Every structure is written in structure tokens, then in C-alpha cells.
Amino acid sequence: MKADLGAARSRPRLPRPRGYLSDAVISWLRTGEGTLPPREDIQRADPYGADLQLALYVLYELHYQGFDHVDDDHEWAPGLLVVRRHLEEAFLRALRADVPVTGAREAMAGLLTEPADDGNSISHYLKRAGRLWQLREYAALRSLYHLKEADPHAWVLPRLRGRAKAGMAAIEFDEFGAGRAEDIHAQLFADLMADLALETAYGHYVDLAPAEALTLVNLMSLLGLHRSLRGALIGHFATVEVTSSPGSRRLAEAMRRTGAGPAAERFYDEHVEADAVHEQVVRTEVVEGLLTDEPHLEPDVAFGIGATGLLEDRLAAYLLAAWREDRSALPAPLPHVSASTPVRGKI
């Protein structure tokens, strides 16, 4: 099923607050006035919690599509930038404390080893036992990134040079459809969502997203928006590209097994093929090119790899804990739908 991504990408509404920090930020965006949270209050909040992560997500979205009835100039409002910096400091401090210190090449080698199904992998679970309603929940949460796929990584292009820049631009060109609007990966994901009877509007499912999903989206924006974190952004990007092909193969099989629909299958089939090529380019040109030009960024590349793995594991644990108990991982279950083709597994 084809989704009209242009129509779907109208400006999203501001989400519902999850606590004091997000309420203060969202209220300010609605009115342009009010008291924003001071650094002391932000430091006391859970850095991985839904309140802090939603506040950060909302501030980052000002650099993407913005929000309905929110002034575009708020993107650079000084008071909001101060709050964003304090939120980022808390998030980064927690990540640096929790990510093991290692070398970039050692971390890259770990990505190249396809792990066995240890019971903690979302793609292994969905391939083996996933049901249609679980695939729909997974797609709804992943839409917070995939409907802007590659956008956070594009910010790093002017901060690179030589082999790293050329390799990164080549991969991004593919991500953005290689000149064909219908093949932009965000469009392919919108088509997947249409097959799964999900809303394709940008940011539609943010109110259903747990903190574990918000942290992953925020990590990309955090690393992409800061030149000082360009090495970590490349580490994150390498993790996504190197691990994507085998994971996408399993997810494509899950879509076929549950009769999710041809567009749902195509999105992951496309990533199996494309990311197998991207994996080579990201290793030999992007990462090696960056480390040749700027060897002092090696710890940052390793940090980006480790932070991505940490947050992916947290999301997997959250989702699998719910699904194994046969309950929704969302605060409000999605409406039930039937498969679009005959189903060979359980729905």
C-alpha cells in the first residue's frame, strides 16, 4: 500500500507532557512565555526517564518539522537552547558513565560478529514468534526515527572531509532515494506503516513511546547537532549500517510470516540489500577515513558505538518483557487489524 508522505508530513501537534520538565517546555512553546526549568531541577531528574527525554525530544524536533501552532523562530530561542544544553549534559553524563571504554576498531570488530539468538534480540524474536500486533507496535515506535530516516546523520556532512565525507554522502544519497522521491527510505517506511494500518503522520506515535524509544531518537539528534560529537555520530551511524542487513532480513521474514503486506516486506528487503553495501563503505571509507584524518576521535567513535548498543538493549528488554507476557508494550494498545494476506503464524 502506498502512503502519501507529503500529505502525512503536516506539522505534528505538541505531545502530552510526562512530568515537570516536559510540561514546562511544552507550555512555553504553546505560549512563548513562562518559567523554564533551571539546571538544578534537570540534574535531579532521571536522565533516562520519560520526562527528561520527552523535553529533549520536543526541543530537538524544532530543528526538524517543528510543531503545529509553534513559531519557527523558537528553534533558536535563547532560553530554550539553555534548557536543551542542560538536558543534554544530564543525558551525556549518564551515557558516559554507562558505556564501557574501548577502542573504535575493537568496537567495530564486535559489530561484524553476528550474534546468536540469545533471547534478547527483537529481530530474532519477531522472526521466530512475533505476532502481527507486535510488529505493528514495533513499527509505531520506530516511526519516530524512520519517518525522518537519515536526517540526523546529514548534519555531519559539512563536518567531515575526504574519504569520510565522500563515503557518508554516498550512503546518504541512497537513504534519500538516489534522486527518486518514491524511494526515499522515510517514504518506504510510511508505505510499510500503511500496510500495517498505522497512521503515517510524522511524529504521530510520540505519546505512545516509552522513554526507551525516545532515548534512541534523541541520541541521533544529540550527536548530529554537535560538531564536537561528530566522531560519536559516525560510531552511531556505523552501528546502524553494519548491523542493519542481518536484522532487516529477520524482520522481512517476520513481515512475510504474518502477512503484513508487500510494502511492509519491501522496506526491510530494501535494507537487506542496500545496507550490505553500506556496511562495506561505512567501514572502509567513513570510519577509516575519519580515523586517518582525525585519529584523536577514536574514543568518540567507540563511544557512539557503545551508546547505541546500550540504548538498543534497553529498548529490546522493555519490549520483550511485555510481549513475552502477551501484553502490549504501549500505554494504550493499537486498534486490532487483520493481516492483509493469509497468515501462517499467530496474529
pLDDT in tens, 144-192: 999 999 999 999 999 999 999 999 999 999 999 999 999 999 999 999 9
Q: Which amino acid is at 174?
A: D
45 sits in the region (left: phi over 0; alpha: psi -120 to 50; else beta) called beta
pTM above 0.85, yes or no: yes
Give the chain's mean pLDDT: 92
- pLDDT at residue 346 greater than cutoff 50: no
Strand, coil or helix: 259: coil
Closest CA to 237 of 305, 303, 294: 305
- Buried-exposed string 59-97: b where 16+ CB fall within 10 A, e elsewhere: bbbbbbbbbeebeeebeebeebeebbebbbebbbebbee
Distance CA 196, CA 259 (A): 10
121: closest CA among 258, 307, 315?
A: 315
- Torsion sign, CA atoms 5, 58, 175, 270: negative
Residue 273 has pLDDT above 80, yes or no: no
Q: Is the pLDDT of residue 24 over 80?
A: yes
Cα–Cα distance for residue pair 262/164, rounded to 1 Å: 35
Contact indicator for 252, 268 with CB cutoff of 8 Å: yes
Q: Is 170 exposed, middle or buried (0-12, 13-18, 19+ CB in 10 A)?
A: middle
Of 181, 161, 184, residue with least CA distance to 172: 184
Q: What is the pLDDT of residue 111?
A: 84
Q: How far is CA 21 from CA 25, 29, 32, 54, 87, in A?
A: 6, 13, 16, 9, 9
Is a pLDDT exceeding 80 seen at residue 272?
yes
Confidence (pLDDT) at 338: 60
Map out the domains of the chain as residue ranges. 5-97, 103-323
pLDDT > 90 fraction of the chain, expressed in percent and rounded: 81
Distance, in Å, from the CA atom of 185 to the CA atom of 270, rounded to the nearest integer, reads 9
User: Taking 80 as the threshold, does the pLDDT of residue 232 lie above it?
Assistant: yes
Distance CA 125, CA 129 (A): 6
- pLDDT for 113 equals 75
Q: How many residues does the chain have?
A: 347
CATH class held by domain 103-323: mainly alpha
For the segment 52-98, what is each residue's pLDDT rounded down to a tens digit?
A: 999 999 999 999 999 999 999 999 999 999 999 999 999 999 999 99
